[in-house]
């Protein structure tokens, strides 16, 4: 005599020869296989935690005393955001791998390469670019010193040189020659104007001192 339970299963309408019990067993096996596959390949919940490059996030950047809110991709460098998204082109694109120093900015008073700093990393910090040293149309002390000492030729590296000088003098208002050379060692000048650059740093220290340390 046939089991009433088997008889009921045949009337469920899941297709020819497919009972409710077989259907549930098949679905259960498929779910188990999928879960095992995810575990073996490292997918699943861990995959959801990875931020995809094209995802955009909101950041708040404090640049030259102003708060700038914008959306960025997590992979964007601070250099790219400053130039392409905010129009602050005083920060120059050089090697883009942390060797030349043309993209130097101050982050919390410390000279940093903007090409090696992600925009999302710079949140809640104080960022100063070359434009932030200006007083309206007037040059800041370091910019004036570079002009007076003819501390450039092509001028492409000059913004980064100026920002490294500014960072040095904020940390040490009266550096000696060895300290100047060490502080400026992260900025390359392809024109070889180093002698004039070092003189400009010394002159900038005097100009800032005369202004009470103001940039």
pLDDT digits (tens, 9 = 90+) for 172-184: 999 999 999 999 9
The domains of the chain are located at 4-48, 57-210
Q: Is 171 in a helix, a strand, or coil? A: helix
pTM: 0.75
Q: How far apart are the C-alpha atoms of 97 and 28, rounded to whole Å?
A: 52
**HSE of 107, CA atoms in CB hemisphere, 13 A:** 19
pLDDT digits (tens, 9 = 90+) for 78-130: 999 999 999 999 999 999 999 999 999 999 999 999 999 999 999 999 999 99
> Which fold, 57-210?
Ubiquitin-like (UB roll) (3.10.20)
Is residue 101 a contact partner of residue 186, using CB atoms and an 8 Å limit? yes
pLDDT digits (tens, 9 = 90+) for 180-205: 999 999 999 999 999 999 999 999 99
Burial group, residue 100, by CB count within 10 angstroms (0-12, 13-18, 19+): buried
The CB density around residue 153, as the number of other CB atoms within 10 Å, is 14
User: In sequence order, which ranges of 109-193 are alpha helices (DSSP H)?
Assistant: 141-148, 158-171, 177-183
């Amino acid at each position: 005599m046939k089991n009433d339970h088997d008889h009921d299963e045949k009337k469920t309408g899941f297709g020819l020869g497919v009972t409710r019990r077989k259907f549930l067993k098949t679905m259960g096996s498929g779910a188990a296989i999928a879960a095992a596959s995810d575990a073996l390949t490292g997918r699943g919940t861990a995959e959801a935690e990875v931020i995809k490059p094209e995802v955009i996030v909101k950041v708040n950047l404090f640049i030259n005393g102003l708060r700038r809110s914008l959306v960025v991709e997590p992979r964007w460098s601070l250099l790219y955001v400053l130039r392409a998204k905010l129009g602050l082109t005083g920060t120059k694109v050089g090697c883009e791998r942390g060797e030349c120093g043309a993209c130097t900015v101050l982050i919390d008073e410390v000279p940093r390469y903007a090409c090696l700093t992600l925009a999302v990393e710079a949140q809640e910090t104080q960022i100063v670019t070359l434009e932030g040293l200006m007083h309206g149309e007037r040059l800041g002390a370091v910019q004036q010193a570079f002009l007076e000492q003819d501390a450039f030729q092509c001028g492409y590296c000059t913004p980064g040189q100026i920002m490294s000088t500014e960072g040095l003098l904020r940390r040490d208002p009266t550096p000696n020659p060895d300290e100047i050379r060490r502080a400026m060692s992260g900025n390359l000048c392809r024109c070889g104007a180093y002698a004039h650059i070092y003189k400009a740093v010394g002159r900038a220290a005097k100009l800032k001192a005369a202004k009470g340390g103001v940039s």
